[in-house]
Amino acid sequence: YQAKRDRTGVEVYESKRDSNTPDRLGLLGDLRRALDAREVALHYQPKVRFDGQVAGLEALVRWVHPERGSVPPDEFIAIAESSGLMPHLTEYVLDTALAQVAAWRAQGLFVPVAVNVSPRDVHTPGFAGSVAARLARHGVPAGSLQLEITEHVLLEDPQRAADTLAGLTGHGVKMSLDDFGTGYSSLVHLRRLPVSELKIDRSFVARLAIDAEDAEIVRCTLDLAHSLGLLVVAEGVEDDETWERLRDLGCDAVQGWLVAAAMPADETTDWLRARGAHGWQRHPVAREPE
Ligand code: C2E
Ligand code: MG
Ligand code: MG
Ligand code: MG
């Protein structure tokens, strides 16, 4: 395998995409053990509205392998999906996120959390009921949980997926359509999915300020989503200019390094407390000298 360094200087593990290399099998065993040992963590990334109000947090899974360093989620989620470990990983993520939501609520921090679920999960029999049971067990109201899905849920058995999603929204869980604009985007999908939020994929947002076609795609997506009554979140906002363009286009909320990268739970608590009173500010107003 190759190792490279990420932004924080932590070694990042990258393997080839083929499915049954000894490397992949090794990682699968390690992941299974890491879940049992509760060594897989969740970080939380805020979604903020243009008035600075915190709309929610997205839970993003983090795994630091003892020898290989941090393994990117895209990498080990693919392994979990192709091996049957995915339901276990999702249960782990849901339980960890819901326990955290309950802890925040007990401290007076009422913030909804979004959990990413894979198409595999949506096709697991009994998924909606198992989510409802977990909410009850953690004493968290369904309105405090959002599930981020992608259009891939409709590829396999669209009717079964639609039934599961209807079950989830019936319990009061909110659904968000992630990575919109990549792959299989179609109006039919949008109509079939009971989502209340749509997230525009980072690949369109990144070049919004410099590429007229990407700007047009974002504008059309906003029009379409708003005409269907959906809230729109832009992913991967890294600079002021992109933030301003999105605000002027009427986007509802943003997520990205401009606001905050995903943070460990304790840092998130501090972040929430610091912003609780006044909301996130792009350029905190300097205090007048006394
Ligand atoms: P996603 O759900 O679309 O998450 C957004 C990804 O963009 C995250 O990468 C996040 O750290 C990154 N990101 C956020 N802001 C910025 C920014 O301003 N610039 C750039 N360049 N990147 C930004 P991450 O954490 O590596 O996750 C990658 C993907 O892995 C996620 O994409 C999601 O599909 C999947 N994933 C993460 N956690 C889970 C999980 O618990 N369960 C499942 N099923 N999938 C997960
Ligand atoms: Mg997501
Ligand atoms: Mg996304
Ligand atoms: Mg994305």
Is the separation of the CB atoms in 261 and 97 below 8 Å?
Answer: no
Q: What pLDDT was estimated at residue 5?
A: 45
Which tokens in the block code for residue 128? 């909606």
Q: What pLDDT was estimated at residue 156?
A: 84
Q: What pLDDT was estimated at residue 191?
A: 80
Residue 242 Cβ contacting ligand 1 at under 6 Å: no
Per DSSP, the three-state class of 189 is: helix
Is the separation of the CB atoms in 144 and 183 below 8 Å?
Answer: no
Q: What are the tens digits of pLDDT across the range 40-89?
A: 999 999 999 999 999 999 999 999 999 999 999 999 999 999 999 999 99
Q: What pLDDT was estimated at residue 183?
A: 67
pTM of the model: 0.91
Q: Which residue has the tokens 């749509």?
A: 198
Distance between Cα 257 and ligand 3 center (Å): 14
Q: What pLDDT was estimated at residue 9?
A: 46
Is the separation of the CB atoms in 11 and 63 below 8 Å?
Answer: no
Which is it for strands 54-65 and 113-116: parallel, antiparallel or unpaired? parallel
Residue 39 Cβ contacting ligand 1 at under 6 Å: no
- One-character DSSP codes across 193-214: S--SEEEE-HHHHTTTTT-HHH
Which tokens in the block code for residue 131? 């989510």
Please give the Cα distance from 260 to 245 (Å, whole number): 19
Q: What pLDDT was estimated at residue 6?
A: 46
Q: What pLDDT was estimated at residue 190?
A: 81
- ipTM value: 0.98
- The number of helices, as runs of H, and strands, as runs of E, in the chain is 11, 12
Residue 117 Cβ contacting ligand 1 at under 6 Å: yes
Q: What are the tens digits of pLDDT across the range 82-113?
A: 999 999 999 999 999 999 999 999 999 999 99
Distance between Cα 244 and ligand 2 center (Å): 22
Q: What pLDDT was estimated at residue 21?
A: 73
Helix axes 86-106, 127-138, angle to 10 degrees: 30
Q: What pLDDT was estimated at residue 278?
A: 74
Tell me which residues of the chain have a pLDDT lower than 50.
Answer: 1-9, 13, 15-16
Is the separation of the CB atoms in 121 and 127 below 8 Å?
Answer: yes
Distance between Cα 179 and ligand 2 center (Å): 7
Ligand nearest to the CA of 60: 1
Mutation probe of ligand 1 site: the residue of 47, 79, 86, 235 with most atoms within 8 A of C-beta? 235
| Atom of ligand 1 at shortest range from CA of 118 | 44
Name the nearest CA neighbour of 30 among 108, 83, 109: 83
Residue identifier of the C-alpha nearest atom 4 of ligand 1: 60
> Which residues fall within 8 angstroms of residue 152, CB to CB, at 6 or more apart?
119, 183, 184
| Atom of ligand 1 at shortest range from CA of 90 | 42
Residue 40 Cβ contacting ligand 1 at under 6 Å: no
Q: What pLDDT was estimated at residue 88?
A: 96
